[in-house]
Amino acid sequence: MQHLIETQQFTREALKELFNVATSLEGKRGQSLKGKILASLFYEPSTRTRLSFESAMLRLGGEVITMENGKESSSQSKGETLEDSIKVVNHYADLIVMRHAEVGSAARAAAVSNVPIINAGDGNMGQHPTQALLDLYTIQRELKREDNIHIAIVGNLKYYRSPRSLAYLLSKYKDIKVTFISSPELRMEEDVKTHLKENNVPFTETEDMITGIRDADVVYQTRIAKEWIKNDEEYEKQRGRYIITRAVADSMKKGAIIIHPLPRVGEIEEAVDASPHAVYFKQIGYGLIVRMALLKTILGGEKKLFRAHKKK
């Protein structure tokens, strides 16, 4: 049984194999997961992650049961523990995709589950491994290389699980350079920076977006996320600080790309959508096939591609 809780479970070789499976599934439908049931348990709002997992399962011939807005619609509102909920859903599904507001919730679910758990986001400072996988796949597909990449990650680095997860994946490659661009209040946490240091990945921190993205191959823009910054005054201070306008996009070097986990809320102007650098909507399609590959790998009898999650 394979639980996917964090990106540290992958090796470079496993990522290559997974991405090869994803590429082979592009534009395809099949029946390899016929008879299998996916339960999507979302205690937090989601559009792309929930629907792409459900679409991925259906395209592979499987079935889906779903719970949206679980914080209010599930038995959690009656006081049921997460562990008890997972023990119940185990009887209904062959795999559970779960998003939850608490850091560490996915690991808690995996500890009691008899079916595979896929972490679809646990807390604002936890991880979102499948988003990081599709981010990395997008980068490699668009740049047509795995190594020698300079990525600038912009905006909300403290309260954003996706770039945290991606940083752990990037450390598996050669000649990677990272530039963290944020206000002092939203800097990347020390655990990620320590990991990069331990893996000899050079990084710099700056508040200057224009200078920071000048030589970047990838600009990873993030949303300030009002739901994670509870102080309204602080949110208003931060949300307009880093905006990619068409002029900013046009200043990027030739061949560089802009990615974003979406949704965007003003941090990339709509005029940028027509820029050759903008690939954030293309990312959505890449995400679908990466999740198809994960489901096929975990449920379809393919060999195990990632390591077991280590309990902490």
Amino acid at position 107, single letter: A
Query: What's the maximum distance between 2 C-alpha atoms anywhere in the chain?
Result: 55
Distance CA 267, CA 221 (A): 8
Residues with Cβ < 8 Å from 206, sequence gap 6 or more? 179, 180, 181, 212
Residue 202, CB half-sphere, CA atoms under 13 Å: how many?
7
3-state secondary structure of 37: strand
Beta strand spans in the chain (E): 37-42, 63-67, 95-100, 117-122, 149-154, 176-181, 203-206, 218-221, 257-259
Rg for the chain, CA atoms, rounded: 19
3 within 8 A of 117, measured Cβ to Cβ: yes
121 φ/ψ sector (left φ>0, alpha ψ -120 to 50, else beta)? left
3-state secondary structure of 118: strand
Enumerate the active-site residues: 48-49, 78, 99, 128
